[in-house]
Amino acid sequence: MYRTESNNEDDFQPSTTTQPSTVTQLTTITQVSSDPAFSSTYEDAKERKQQVNRSTNSYCPPQGTFNKIITDGVTLILLWVLLWALMGQEVLPGGNLFGLIVIFYSAFLGGKILEIIRIPVVPPLPPLLGMLLAGFTIRNVPIIYKFVHIPTTWSSALRNTALTIILIRAGLGLDPQALKHLKGVCLRLSFGPCLIEACSAAFFSHFLMKFPWQWGFLLGFVLGAVSPAVVVPSMLLLQENGYGVEKGIPTLLVAASSMDDVVAITGFNTFLSMVFSSGCQHLGLHGSGGLVTLVLSFMAAKKWAKEKVGIQKIVANMWNVFQPLLFGLVGTEVSVEALESKTIGMCIATLGFALSARIIATFTLMSFAEFRFKEKVFIALSWIPKATVQAVLGPLALEKARDMAPHLEAYSKDVMTVAFLAILITAPNGALLIGILGPKILDRSDVTGPIEMELSQFEH
How large a percentage of the chain has pLDDT more than 70?
76
Whole-number percent of the chain with pLDDT over 90:
17
Stretch 53-62: mean pLDDT, rounded?
56
Q: Residue 127: is its pLDDT beyond 50? A: yes
pLDDT at 11 over 50: no
CB 103 within 8 A of CB 138: yes
Q: How far apart are CA 271 and CA 57, in angstroms?
A: 65
Please return the burial class of 303, using the count of CB atoms within 10 Å of its CB with bins 0-12, 13-18 and 19+.
Answer: exposed
CA-nearest of 444, 148, 168 to 311 is 168
pLDDT for the residue 348? 93
User: Which residue did the predictor score with more confidence, 102 or 233?
Assistant: 102
Higher pLDDT, 340 or 181: 340
Determine contact, residues 135/107, Cβ cutoff 8 Å.
yes
Pick 237 or 427 by higher pLDDT.
427
Position 32 pLDDT exceeds 50: no
Architecture of the domain delimited by 151-455: Up-down Bundle (1.20)
Residue 386 has pLDDT above 70, yes or no: yes
The DSSP 8-state label assigned to residue 126 in this structure reads P
**404 or 175: whose pLDDT is higher?**
404
Of 55-64, 162-171, 318-327, 447-456, the range with the highest mean pLDDT is 318-327
3-state secondary structure of 124: coil
Q: What is the pLDDT of residues 256-292, one digit of tens each?
A: 887 788 888 888 888 888 887 657 444 444 455 666 7
**Mean pLDDT for the chain overall:** 77
pLDDT tens for 94-116 read 777 888 888 988 988 888 888 88
Per-domain boundaries in the chain: 65-92, 151-455
Predicted local distance difference test score (pLDDT) of residue 378: 93
